[in-house]
């Protein structure tokens, strides 16, 4: 199991980015969370199979239809045992 912590920058709030990320991550069997930041970015913590994480990162580079991603910053992290599903955090 692997994990990453990411920040997606651009026009990513108000376009369904969190819900689309929830769907993508859940379909891939990942656990973690997604939330909006006060700075206008979307923050993601995801963990699971390395190949599935790579798929989610590739998807985060463009996001849902109405999003305009200008940058994706992410770092690998140590997985945490506390997550059992993927959720929208507030």
Which positions are annotated as active-site residues?
Answer: 18, 36
CA 42/CA 35 separation, integer angstroms: 6
Kindly report the backbone phi and psi dihedral angles of residue 64, in degrees, each rounded to the nearest multiple of 5, phi listed first.
Answer: -75, 175
Separation CA 17–CA 13 (nearest Å): 7
């Amino acid at each position: 199991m692997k994990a990453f912590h990411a920040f997606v920058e651009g026009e990513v709030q108000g376009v369904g980015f969190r819900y689309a990320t929830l769907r993508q991550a859940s379909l891939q069997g990942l656990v973690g969370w997604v939330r909006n930041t006060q700075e206008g970015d979307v923050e993601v913590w995801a963990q699971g199979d390395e190949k599935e994480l790579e798929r989610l990162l590739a998807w985060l580079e463009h996001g849902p239809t109405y999003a305009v991603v200008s940058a994706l910053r992410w770092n690998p992290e140590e997985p945490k045992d506390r997550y059992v599903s993927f959720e929208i955090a507030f």
